[in-house]
Amino acid sequence: MNKIKNSFVVALTIILASFFSCKDLDELNINPNGADPAIADLNLLMPTFVVGIGQQVVGLGVGDIAGVMQHTQKDGWSGGHNDYDWGIGSKSWSGYYGILRNIDEFHKKAIEGEYEFHQGVALVMKAYTFGLIADLWGDAPYTEALKAEEGEGYFKPVFDPQKDIYLGILADLENANTLLSKGEEAYMNIVPTQDLIYSGSASKWRKLANSLALRYYMRLSEKESGIAQEGISKIASDPGTYPVITSASDDATIDYIGSSPSDSWPTNTVYDTDPRGAYFRVKMCATLVEAMQELNDPRLGVYANKIEIPLQKVEGEEIDRIVNGIREVSQDIIDDYTEAWGVGVDFDTEYVGIPPSIYAAPQYNLNPNLDQAVYNPHCSQLNDMYKETNGDLLLMRLMSAAEVHFILSEAALYGWISGSPDEHYASGIQESFNAWGLGDAFDGYIAGAPYSGLESIIEQKWIASWTAAAESWFDWRRTGLPELQTGESARREALPLRFYYHYADEIAKNTVNAEEAISRLEPTQYKGNDPSNNSAWSKMWLLQGTGKPY
pLDDT at 371 (0 to 100): 85
pLDDT at 33 (0 to 100): 36
pLDDT at 41 (0 to 100): 86
pTM of the model: 0.94
pLDDT grade for 36, boundaries at 50, 70 and 90? low
pLDDT of 7 over the 70 cut: no
Q: Which of 537, 463, 54 is nearest to 262 (CA)?
A: 54
pLDDT of 35 over the 80 cut: no
Instruction: Report residue 8: phi and psi, to 5°.
Output: -65, -40
pLDDT at 160 (0 to 100): 98
Instruction: For residue range 483-500, list pLDDT tens digits in order.
Output: 999 999 999 999 999 999
For the chain, residues classed under CATH 1.25.40.390 are 3-258
Q: What is the mean pLDDT of residues 195-204?
A: 98
pLDDT at 372 (0 to 100): 85
Q: What is the mean pLDDT of residues 510-538?
A: 98
pLDDT at 374 (0 to 100): 85
pLDDT of 14 over the 60 cut: no
Q: Average pLDDT over the chain, rounded to whole?
A: 93
Q: How far apart are CA 357 and CA 485, in angstroms?
A: 9
Contact residues for 186 (Cβ-Cβ < 8 A; gap 6+): 116
pLDDT of 45 over the 80 cut: yes
pLDDT at 305 (0 to 100): 98
State the DSSP string of 401-453.
HHHHHHHHHHHHHTTSSSS-HHHHHHHHHHHHHHHTT-GGGHHHHHTTS---S
Instruction: For residue range 217-237, list pLDDT tens digits in order.
Output: 999 999 999 999 999 999 999
More confident residue, 309 or 153: 309
Instruction: For residue range 311-358, list pLDDT tens digits in order.
Output: 999 999 999 999 999 999 999 999 999 999 999 999 999 999 999 999
Sign (positive/negative) of CA torsion 150, 155, 160, 166?
A: positive
pLDDT of 15 over the 90 cut: no
What class has domain 3-258?
mainly alpha
Are 21 and 37 a contacting pair, CB within 8 Å? no
